[in-house]
């Protein structure tokens, strides 16, 4: 293209942009109504035809582009154009998209785009947010996209005792997906800096390593918990490949595994923990194993365990049912609600441990565990 042609194109674009006078009053960063007009579409198409149009220098073109993209969040074009034009205005939306779809391709893609427009710190900040669920999602995503910054970002999370166990365990698993991360986990273990509650996550990450040296080093610090047949548990990466018997699994759930002492499935069982009637739609096979084998790494925010010490020296541990100025009610692992007057409470403390027992696999053989998971995976939304 020669100079005159270029100038003509520029003029055409400018003419086209001047048509959008009334739209210029719309703020570019306005979050409401993701509608775009035919004019917006025309502007976007024009901009896309120009090889070197600097959208940052044209507020109306940018506003049109933002409206156009906000109407199709998560589409391939959405990701592509945000990246190409470095539209940091859309980073809050990208961040939400990433966190809400962390377990899916679109969530990881959103996180990649965030990184490519220099917004990795926004994702990093979520690690320390109040919501453990969001923080877990951020740790998982960082494991996929942070590249050579992964260890620097996640190692402090693993070592920070103030953060919820679930977030730290997610950081361990994310580190465990990379060789440099595996080395940093081994180093933490060697220095005695890896909390006991993270052993399960670390053991699984390290025993699944492709490097012999890492696996044999790991055996010095960790072992996977024993099952009822005194066999050590196979690593998660191996368990998820096995298939079991659904009917046998249903029996394990109701009897050997004691699951129905705390969980309802389609009206059957006690309700201490969450109803599991649709759990197969919520969790992946791997997450199901983690929920059963390492419950503290998966505490959901509605089910935090509290321990209360009375002035008489009694302790009650259970889920917080209610807390008022007058009294606190906890529901114990046996499903019994205990109410204690505030005046009688010495200490009320949130526990990082799940109320769900940590060693349920001891009741089960490896095959029973596999059957149990096969059964729970069939519990889907109808
Ligand atoms: C003493 C009570 C208790 C027993 C026994 C128990 N659970 Fe749980 N379970 C809980 C509580 C409380 C939670 C929620 C808090 C948490 O995530 O740790 C939970 C959470 C879960 C979750 C995650 C649910 C979600 O929505 O993410 C699964 C899956 C699960 N349990 C399966 C089982 C299975 C399978 C068994 C039997 C092997 C079992 N549980 C035995 C109390 C129990």
In a domain, residue 325? The reply is: yes
Cα–Cα distance for residue pair 77/104, rounded to 1 Å: 18
Are residues 294 and 310 located together in one domain of the fold? no
Cα–Cα distance for residue pair 177/145, rounded to 1 Å: 12
Note the pLDDT of residue 374.
98
CATH number of the domain that residue 320 is part of: 2.30.30.100
Are residues 144 and 209 located together in one domain of the fold? yes
Are residues 214 and 262 located together in one domain of the fold? no
In a domain, residue 200? The reply is: yes
Beta bridge partners, 350, equal 306
Note the pLDDT of residue 26.
46
Are residues 367 and 266 located together in one domain of the fold? yes
In a domain, residue 208? The reply is: yes
What domain count does the chain have?
3
Which residue puts its alpha carbon closest to atom 19 of ligand 1? 273
Cα–Cα distance for residue pair 175/149, rounded to 1 Å: 11
Contact assessment for residue 337 and residue 329, using Cβ atoms and an 8 Å cutoff:
yes
Q: C-alpha angle 13/57/10, rounded to 5°?
A: 25
Residue 53 C-alpha to ligand 1 middle, in angstroms?
55
Are residues 134 and 191 located together in one domain of the fold? yes
Closest ligand 1 atom to 259 CA: 37
In a domain, residue 43? The reply is: no
CA distances from 95 to 60, 68, 139, 201 (A): 24, 18, 13, 26
Residue 167 C-alpha to ligand 1 middle, in angstroms?
18
- For the segment 74-127, what is each residue's pLDDT rounded down to a tens digit? 999 999 999 999 999 999 999 999 999 987 888 999 999 999 999 999 999 999
201, 223, 245: which is the final residue of a domain? 223
Which residue puts its alpha carbon closest to atom 17 of ligand 1? 299
Cα–Cα distance for residue pair 257/363, rounded to 1 Å: 6
Are residues 189 and 266 located together in one domain of the fold? no
In a domain, residue 85? The reply is: no
Are residues 339 and 362 located together in one domain of the fold? no
Cα–Cα distance for residue pair 286/277, rounded to 1 Å: 18
Range of the domain at 256: 236-298+357-377
In a domain, residue 294? The reply is: yes
Are residues 335 and 206 located together in one domain of the fold? no
Note the pLDDT of residue 288.
95
Note the pLDDT of residue 5.
57
Are residues 133 and 189 located together in one domain of the fold? yes
pTM of the model: 0.72
Residue 358 C-alpha to ligand 1 middle, in angstroms?
10
In a domain, residue 345? The reply is: yes
Are residues 272 and 345 located together in one domain of the fold? no
Are residues 161 and 181 located together in one domain of the fold? yes
Contact assessment for residue 222 and residue 194, using Cβ atoms and an 8 Å cutoff:
no
Give the residue ranges of the chain where pLDDT is below 70: 1-34, 299-301
CATH number of the domain that residue 250 is part of: 1.10.760.10
Are residues 132 and 215 located together in one domain of the fold? yes
Residues within 6 Å of ligand 1 by CB: 257-259, 261-263, 272-274, 276, 279, 282, 288, 291-292, 295, 298-300, 303, 333, 354-357, 360, 372, 376
253-257 contacts at long range (C-beta below 8 A, 24 or more positions apart) = 253/372, 253/375, 253/376, 256/363, 256/364, 256/368, 257/360, 257/363, 257/364, 257/368, 257/372
In a domain, residue 213? The reply is: yes
188, 223, 258: which is the final residue of a domain? 223
């Amino acid at each position: 293209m020669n100079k005159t042609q270029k100038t003509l194109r520029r003029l055409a674009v400018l003419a086209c942009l001047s048509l959008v006078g009334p739209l210029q009053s719309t703020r570019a960063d306005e979050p409401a109504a993701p509608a775009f007009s035919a004019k917006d579409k025309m502007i976007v198409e024009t901009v896309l035809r120009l090889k070197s149009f600097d959208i940052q220098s044209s507020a109306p073109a940018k506003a049109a582009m933002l409206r156009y993209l906000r109407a199709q969040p998560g589409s391939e074009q959405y990701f592509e154009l945000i990246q190409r034009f470095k539209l940091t205005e859309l980073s809050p939306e990208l961040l939400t998209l990433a966190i809400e779809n962390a377990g899916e391709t679109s969530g990881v893609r959103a996180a990649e785009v965030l990184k490519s427009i220099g917004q990795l710190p926004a994702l990093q900040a979520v690690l320390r947010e109040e919501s453990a669920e969001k923080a877990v999602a951020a740790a998982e995503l960082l494991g996929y996209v942070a590249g050579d910054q992964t260890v620097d970002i996640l190692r402090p999370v693993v070592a920070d005792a103030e953060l919820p166990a679930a977030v730290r365990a997610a950081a361990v698993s994310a580190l465990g997906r990379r060789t440099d991360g595996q080395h940093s986990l081994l180093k933490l273990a060697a220095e005695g800096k890896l909390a006991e509650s993270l052993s399960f996550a670390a053991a699984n990450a390290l025993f699944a390593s492709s490097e012999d040296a890492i696996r044999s080093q790991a055996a010095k610090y960790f072992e996977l918990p024993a099952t009822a047949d005194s066999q050590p548990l196979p690593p998660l990466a191996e368990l998820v490949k096995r298939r079991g018997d659904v009917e046998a699994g249903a029996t394990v759930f109701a009897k050997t595994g004691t699951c129905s002492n705390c969980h309802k499935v389609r009206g059957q069982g006690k309700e201490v923990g969450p109803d599991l009637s649709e759990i197969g739609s919520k969790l992946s096979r791997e997450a199901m194993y983690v929920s059963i084998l390492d419950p503290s790494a998966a505490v959901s925010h509605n089910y935090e365990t509290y321990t209360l010490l009375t002035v008489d020296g009694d302790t009650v541990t259970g889920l917080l049912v209610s807390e008022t100025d007058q009294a606190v009610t906890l529901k114990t692992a046996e499903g019994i609600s205990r109410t204690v007057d505030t005046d009688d409470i010495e200490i009320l403390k949130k526990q990082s441990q799940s109320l769900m027992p940590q060693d349920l696999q001891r009741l089960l053989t490896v095959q029973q565990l596999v059957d149990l998971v096969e059964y729970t995976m069939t519990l889907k939304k109808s």
